[in-house]
Amino acid sequence: MNYNSWIFWLLFAGVIGGYWRLSHRAQNRLLLVASYLFYGFWDYRFLFLVLLSTVIDFIGGLGVSGIRISRSKQRNLALLTSASAFLLSSGINYSSLVRGDFRTGLPHHFSDFAVPIGTTIACMLYGVALPRLYALPETKRRKAFLTISMIANLAILAYFKYAGFFLESLRGGLHTLGLSSLDIPTLHILLPAGISFYTFQAMSYTIDIYRGETKPTENFPDFALFVCFFPHLVAGPIMRAHTLLPQVIAPRKLKPGAFEEGLLLVLVGMFKKIVIADNMAPLANAVFSRFSNGHAVGLSGFDTLIGIYAFAFQIYGDFSGYSAVARGISKWLGFDLVVNFRNPYLAVSPSDFWRRWHISLSTWLRDYLYIPLGGNRGGTFALYRNLMITMTLGGLWHGASWTFVGWGIYHGAILCGFRALNISDPKPEKIKSIKERLIWIFRVGVMFHLTCFGWLLFRAETPQIVFAMSRKILTDFHLTGFGLSTLALLIFHCAVLFVLEWRWDGENRLPVGENAPIKKRSVIRFAALYIYLLAMLLIFHAETSYAFIYFQF
């Protein structure tokens, strides 16, 4: 269910229609039901995984803090988890989720119920083990519940997202060694939408409780809403418990200026998705698809570079557009989600880029991976090692392929390279002279092109395509009509938004809302802005609507 679909807005209209007339408890229940409907629209069977991750970390958080769960609540959670597991076997065979060489062809075979039966047994064993876990000394108990949470969540993520990739890589490695006769099973596993987002968010809750940075909730529906709140469920931003959970628990009210701020965010987000991302997609696809066989006849290096530019703005419009709409509709529901983008293409260094791009993920990796590894402590080698590990795993978080791994390694390498150069990032407010401005423009240009090469690694399906496109840019660079017309379209669609976001510092200084200066609330100015955004949406919307890129992560 995409934000740019009528069915989503019908669902949202049904939610918001009577939302502010309900009690706080009823509001939360309504949002919880709407969130499960929202996620179940893609594939209701995978609601099991959302519920499983929710139950794991709800119990884990209480266990870490030493709060005992009543037997009735244990029983209800076990029944909920086991019942939801049977969603995997209803309607369509479980074997259609994991398709191997052997399929029964029967409507329901015993093997189709392996997951729900296994889940039921696991729930029973966990229920038996809980008293023993609570009986452990405090330090061991806290570590035990945290370890169970981490292993369970990472196991779910590893199986559904990475099992097929690792088996395929193993098969390729054995073939290289001349051991292709060994039988390695083939798994084509369907990837649940947004699994990386809600898994990371649920895990961070238990980790934060272990660190003493947040307190657990004993209200399961409230925690379930924290995990699956539909505006950010499948593509972020990744919210921390200390930021979102208090907003779930406390009564909400519509703040002054929240409606107009939400409206601007929704319009800007839809503009980014429909006008920019969906118009850039066919331009980028036209270039990348030509290299599917390793070379492209009829394309110059300039055409190839412009195609990479098009993808750079496609993915920015797509992802930041989703985040803007998520923040906008959350404003209407009384929630504040974190800003996830802040003019990333104005970054002057790799570290500056990651302070601006997918901020909720970069801070998650910093707080839960980079700093625990040692951060910048322990000398130069340790610093570079920690950066490379963090960014490589960050690349793997995005997808199960060697190009994503390469993308992560590349960003780790340029982070290390800029650290070695020891060039400080200038503060915008201190850039005053013409020389300083020219240096800033030069550094922005360099970083933008370094980022674009990273997008080549991100978008290309194979390393061979990366090499072919790089070779084309370096050896056959000349202007063409196709490249110039594509560049003109890119500038036409992106220039105005680029200027607006530069003035707004991404979404940090929106000229509307409760904290906006009164002098900026010009009726004529904002009427013109809204008319422009609506006109662009109506006139220059793409003929084809594309799914949000980050739904696959």
Number of neighbouring beta carbons within 10 Å of residue 127: 15
Q: Any idea which residues carry the catalytic annotation?
A: 398
The predicted structure's pLDDT at residue 1? 67
Strands (E), 157-250: 188-189
Produce one character per residue of 390-423: b if its CB has 16 or more CB atoms within 10 Å, e if not: bbbebbbbbbbbbbbbbbbbbbbbbbbebbeeee
Q: Measuring CA to CA, which residue among 415, 452, 443 is closest to residue 347? A: 443
Whole-Å CA distances, 119 to 82, 150, 378: 6, 17, 43
Q: What is the distance between the alpha carbons of residues 404 and 460, in angstroms, rounded to a whole number?
A: 9
Q: Which two tokens stand for residue 126?
A: 């966990």
Q: Which two tokens stand for residue 195?
A: 């699994």
Q: What number is the average pLDDT over the span 105-109?
A: 40
Q: Measuring CA to CA, which residue among 179, 246, 171 is closest to residue 208? A: 246
- The crossing angle, in degrees rounded to 10, of helices 47-65 and 220-228 is 130
Q: Which two tokens stand for residue 146?
A: 């945290």
Q: Is the CB of residue 386 less than 8 Å from the CB of residue 373?
A: yes
Residue 302 burial by CB count (10 A; 0-12/13-18/19+): exposed, middle or buried? Answer: buried
Counts of helices then strands in the chain (DSSP H, E): 22, 2
Query: Model's pTM, two decimal places?
Result: 0.88
Q: Is the CB of residue 495 less than 8 Å from the CB of residue 481?
A: no
Q: What number is the average pLDDT over the span 252-258?
A: 86
Residue 404 has φ and ψ, to the nearest 5°, of -70, -40
The predicted structure's pLDDT at residue 510? 62
Whole-Å CA distances, 411 to 351, 394, 408: 10, 10, 5
pLDDT band per the 50, 70, 90 thresholds, residue 521: low
pLDDT tens string 180-217: 656 666 666 777 888 899 999 999 999 999 999 999 99
pLDDT band per the 50, 70, 90 thresholds, residue 243: very high
Residue 98 has φ and ψ, to the nearest 5°, of -120, 100
Q: Is the CB of residue 326 less than 8 Å from the CB of residue 332?
A: no
Residue 146 burial by CB count (10 A; 0-12/13-18/19+): exposed, middle or buried? Answer: buried
The predicted structure's pLDDT at residue 107? 40
Whole-Å CA distances, 479 to 215, 473, 484: 60, 11, 7
User: Helix, strand, or coil here: 547?
Assistant: coil
Q: Rg (Cα) of the chain, in Å, rounded?
A: 25
Number of neighbouring beta carbons within 10 Å of residue 480: 15
Q: What is the distance between the alpha carbons of residues 373 and 95, in angstroms, rounded to a whole number?
A: 40
Q: Measuring CA to CA, which residue among 28, 39, 493, 375 is closest to residue 219? A: 28
Q: What is the distance between the alpha carbons of residues 536 and 279, in angstroms, rounded to a whole number?
A: 12
Q: Provide the residue type at 481 as one letter.
A: G
pLDDT tens string 368-400: 999 999 988 888 999 999 999 999 999 999 888
Q: What is the distance between the alpha carbons of residues 461 and 402, in angstroms, rounded to a whole number?
A: 9
User: With 50 as the cut, is the pLDDT of residue 103 above it?
Assistant: no
pLDDT tens string 475-489: 888 888 888 998 998
3-state secondary structure 300-336: CHHHHHHHHHHHHHHHHHHHHHHHHHHHHHHHHCCCC
**Residue keyed to tokens 């390279």:** 417
Q: Is the CB of residue 294 less than 8 Å from the CB of residue 465?
A: yes
Q: What is the distance between the alpha carbons of residues 365 and 389, in angstroms, rounded to a whole number?
A: 10
The predicted structure's pLDDT at residue 417? 94
Better-predicted residue by pLDDT, 91 or 322: 322
